[in-house]
Amino acid sequence: MGLFDTLRNEFIDIIEWTDDASDIILWKFPRYENEIKMNAKLTVRESQVAIFLNEGVLADIFPAGMYTLSTQNMPILATLKGWKYGFDSPFKADVFFVNTKQFTNQKWGTKNPIMLRDAEFGPVRLRAFGSFAFRVNDAAKFFKEVAGTNSEFTVDGINEQLRNLAITRGMDAIAESKIPVLDLASNYDEVSLLITDKIKAEFNELGLELTKFLIENISLPPEVEQALDKRSSMGIIGNLGAYTQFQAANAMETAAANSNGGLMGAGLAAGMGVGMMNQMGNVFQPQQINPNAGSATPPPLPSAPLYFVAVNSAQTGPFTLPQLQAMAQSGHIQRTSLVWTQGMSGWLAAETQTELAVIFATMPPPLV
């Protein structure tokens, strides 16, 4: 290497950042011991901002474009350096490039369920997750408040803080919205806007702009979701009696198709269906309680007596009193017909029984 090459390497004449990484927000140009040559070329690409720092003091800021560095386009640095007469000598300054593109698909989510009060269900625990996007909108403020003089600052360096802001302020916005839990899924856009309005000011304090905030899911604990599923199922079933009859009919059809079960299986299925319907009907019927009674369940109603009748020396029946009255009117039984019911010691004439004597009292006596 010749003397000319050695002298040339002592000065920097091209300053640029190709930005070959996707997660770097701030990058320091590696000046090391080299000095920046006056009239050096500075290239700032789209979605970049260049910051010049002199002895820890923020100086000039350059947006996208190509610049020839001189005392004319670096007024703050020229003042700090004391170039009163535009002395074109090499100088030393720290150069930082700030990436101003959007950093998308930044995930956020609640680590633990958040307790909220719902108008319909009372206290509930919610989990939520989604994504957001941000970018640097004030390079100087971001440099002072967040990045500092780090040679490289990535998204991971601030993502945790931004996620905490999103979760804390976001769940607070959900609580303030008073939107019922069951309606949150249909109002994700509205809730996202509420959260964006609530936290964008805190992003601005860091020199950042919240460009997008999305809710992907808000969920209840598994046991609550299972209870809601059961509630929805009951709503779909509707009439429990009709549903039970439908289930019993399906069981009978299945049993009839089973060659091993035959009619016995069908009868058993029908009996089970009817029994289940009766039991479920009893559960959902309002219970009438007599406040003056000692027991909440009344005793069963007394049953009417059933009589057997001897006809042509053969036992027939049993018959109820209305049936016996019809038989007396048609002449199938007479006063002297032998009858028997539970509690009698033997067969006696119908007119000897008080309940049956009433039947014959309204009938004319036989013709002689």
Query: 221-247: per-residue pLDDT in tens?
Result: 777 777 777 766 666 666 556 656 666
For residue 335, what is the domain's CATH number? 3.30.1490
Judgement on whether residues 43 and 130 belong to the same structural domain of the protein: no
Is residue 263, in this structure, part of any structural domain at all? no
Q: How many structural domains are present in the chain?
A: 3
pLDDT band at 346 (very low <50, low <70, confident <90, very high): confident
Task: Determine the residue type at 106.
Answer: Q
Q: Which of 57, 78, 99 is the last residue of a domain?
A: 99
Judgement on whether residues 202 and 108 belong to the same structural domain of the protein: yes
Q: Which residues pair with 217 in a beta bridge?
A: 129
pLDDT band at 1 (very low <50, low <70, confident <90, very high): very low
Q: Which of 173, 195, 222 is the last residue of a domain?
A: 222
Is residue 240, in this structure, part of any structural domain at all? no
Q: Are the beta carbons of 325 and 309 closer than 8 angstroms?
A: no
Judgement on whether residues 32 and 136 belong to the same structural domain of the protein: no
pLDDT digits (tens, 9 = 90+) for 199-228: 999 999 999 999 999 988 888 877 777 777
pTM: 0.58
Judgement on whether residues 65 and 157 belong to the same structural domain of the protein: no
Is residue 91, in this structure, part of any structural domain at all? yes
Cα atoms in the Cβ-side hemisphere of radius 13 Å centred on 221: 10
Residues 324, 351: Cα–Cα separation, whole Å:
12
Lowest mean pLDDT among 14-23, 146-155, 318-327: 318-327
Go through 95-122 and write b for each residue having 16 or more CB atoms within 10 A of its CB, e for each that does not.
bbbbbbeebeebebebeeebebebeeee
Q: Determine the pLDDT at residue 365.
A: 63
Cα atoms in the Cβ-side hemisphere of radius 13 Å centred on 108: 28
Q: Are the beta carbons of 344 and 355 closer than 8 angstroms?
A: no
Nearest Cα to 120, choosing from 211, 259, 231, 39?
231
Parent domain of 134:
103-222
Helix, strand, coil percentages, rounded to 5, for the chain: 40, 30, 30
Is residue 255, in this structure, part of any structural domain at all? no
Judgement on whether residues 162 and 59 belong to the same structural domain of the protein: no
Judgement on whether residues 120 and 57 belong to the same structural domain of the protein: no
Is residue 185, in this structure, part of any structural domain at all? yes
